[in-house]
Amino acid sequence: MSGITAPRGTFDILPEQAGPRAALEAAARELLEAAGYARIETPAFEATELFARGVGESTDIVQKEMYSFDDGGGRSLTLRPEGTAPVCRAYLQHGMHKLPQPVRLYYLSSFFRAERPQQGRYREFWQVGVEAIGSEDPALDAEVIVLLAALLRRVGVRGTRLRIGSLASPGTRAAYRDELAAYLHAHAERLAANVRERIDLNPLRAFDSDDPDTRAVMAGAPRLLDRLDASDAEHFATVRDLLDRAGLAYEVDPRLVRGIDYYTRTVFEFTSDALGAQSGVGGGGRYDGLIEVLGGPPTPGIGWAAGVERILLAAGEPAPSVRPVDLFVAYEERRGDAFATVVEARAAGLAAEMELAGRTLKGQLKHADRLGARYVAIVEPGAVRLRDRGAGTEESLERDAVVARVSAS
Ligand code: HAM
């Protein structure tokens, strides 16, 4: 095709794809609202500083994946790459600490990351996510994890696997980072170049490397899970115990690192083997220091986000759900009467359509067949012939009586 196409890594949501998305949205709304979560939506762009501070200067997201631009007045704005920092910004801005805690919020919005596009990885994508702010109770950790498992199950995501870990508190992690950095420096010659360059910037990311030599080095690296202090260890043990009580299977993964800096204590990730290389369906964790980083009082929080496109890919293709047409209004001359009939039918809650493409009467009847319309009203001077396509019958009615007749059937 010549002409303009959608940018690389973006996609149109065509009418036939809208049904499965609406079903996912309905399932999320039903499940999350029943658990006390209320919807929040924040702007598509924010001050760049929010993500630089919140997500972290050393992360891939901030270093190379943000769509940032000048607002024309010298202020840098960024298309949101994720939802947690914006929701925490909104929590602070609107004084939500005055509400009963924890404040439970959910969102279903699009996000933007300048990543290399491939199946399941896009530059604009959608996430359904929750944030529960204002409690450090480990039961809240277990609650959000169980909710994501329930959502994935309800929408038919197959082959899921849940991994959990703990990233400890900032003090413990800082000491561990130094220990890990020293270990990496001692084995620097066997590390991939991109890992070696980042030893001091972000040594934990070395666990993410696919390079075989780096992986061999990491197999012997000290583990944060073995360094948790008593209270972090107890928190993690309680979360595991509650997941056991909920009957949810998981694996403890001491190497689970997530690509965002705000995490503390519990982190988790759901993968699906119905997906290819981009197997992460959803993930999240605690961010007990984030609100303080954004200028608020110390306030704990936990949440997750799951990729809508990945959920739909992993759930497989459901049958398209197009609403059947109740009434197709055909006419030759009485266009105004046909229009009035459609307006009346729609006001009565019927799915109704009229002829709009200049077809002959014969063509219109064929089109009504194609639509699978239950009834066809042929508007003529003085009366309407109403055909029940299922029964194969036809009756003559006053125009005023058509909508009531179809509604009653
Ligand atoms: P995340 O792991 O960066 O976490 O993203 C969550 C999910 O969004 C991923 O598991 C994946 O399904 C989807 N996703 C991420 N990037 C892309 C992409 N380029 N294309 C398609 N899908 C993608 C967060 O965003 C955190 N805010 C989650 C969170 C909430 N943590 C605490 N609260």
Residue ranges making up the domain that contains 264? 15-168+228-315
Distances (CA, A) of 141 to 144, 186, 236, 312: 6, 36, 9, 25
- Look at residue 207 in the predicted model and tell me its pLDDT: 87
Same domain as 342, residue 292:
no
Same domain, residue pair 269 and 134: yes
- Give the residue carrying structure tokens 């689970």: 256
How much distance in Å is there from the Cα of 281 to the middle of ligand 1?
Answer: 8
Are 152 and 236 contained in the same domain?
A: yes
Confidence at 5, pLDDT banded by 50, 70, 90? very high
Element (H, E) at 175: helix 170-186
Confidence check: pLDDT of 195 > 80: yes
The answer, yes or no, to whether residue 144 has pLDDT greater than 60, is yes
| Of 82, 234, 240, residue with least CA distance to 164 | 240
% of the chain beyond a pLDDT of 90: 88
Same-domain status, 399 and 271: no
Check whether residue 160 and residue 263 sit in a common domain: yes
Does 384 score more than 70 pLDDT?
yes
Whether 357 and 274 share a structural domain? no
Asked whether residue 59 carries a pLDDT value surpassing 70, the answer given is: yes
What average pLDDT does this structure show over 214-233? 95
pLDDT tens per residue across span 261-281: 999 999 999 999 989 888 899
Question: Do 273 and 396 sit in the same domain of this protein?
Answer: no
Q: Is the CB of 84 under 6 A from ligand 1?
A: yes
Number of domains in the chain: 2
Per-residue pLDDT, 240: 98
Would residue 215 count as lying in a domain?
Answer: no
Q: Above 80 in pLDDT, residue 96?
A: yes
Ligand 1: nearest atom to the Cα of 286 = 32
pLDDT bin (cut points 50, 70, 90) of residue 16 is: confident
Task: Based on the fold, state whether residues 331 and 311 are members of the same structural domain.
Answer: no
CATH code for the domain in which residue 354 is found: 3.40.50.800
Mean pLDDT of the chain: 95
Q: How far is the CA of 285 from the centre of ligand 1 (A)?
A: 12
- Asked whether residue 374 is domain-assigned, the answer is yes
Quick one: 41 and 91 in the same domain?
Answer: yes
In a domain, 221, yes or no: no
Q: Which residue's CA is the nearest one to ligand 1's atom 10?
A: 282
pLDDT tens column, 283-326: 999 999 999 999 999 999 999 999 999 999 999 876 555 678 99
Cα–Cα distance for residue pair 364/50, rounded to 1 Å: 56
- 335 and 305 assigned to the same domain: no
Q: How confident is the model at residue 79 (pLDDT cuts 50, 70, 90)?
A: very high
Does 182 reside within a domain? no
Asked, for residue 205, whether it belongs to a domain, the answer is: no
pLDDT attached to residue 202: 81
**pLDDT (0 to 100) of residue 259:** 87
Q: Say if ligand 1 is within 6 A of residue 282 CB.
A: yes
Residues 366 and 396 in one domain: yes
Mean pLDDT of 52-79: 95
Is the beta carbon of 121 within 6 A of some atom in ligand 1? yes
Same structural domain for residues 277 and 380? Answer: no
Closest CA to 132 of 122, 146, 120: 146
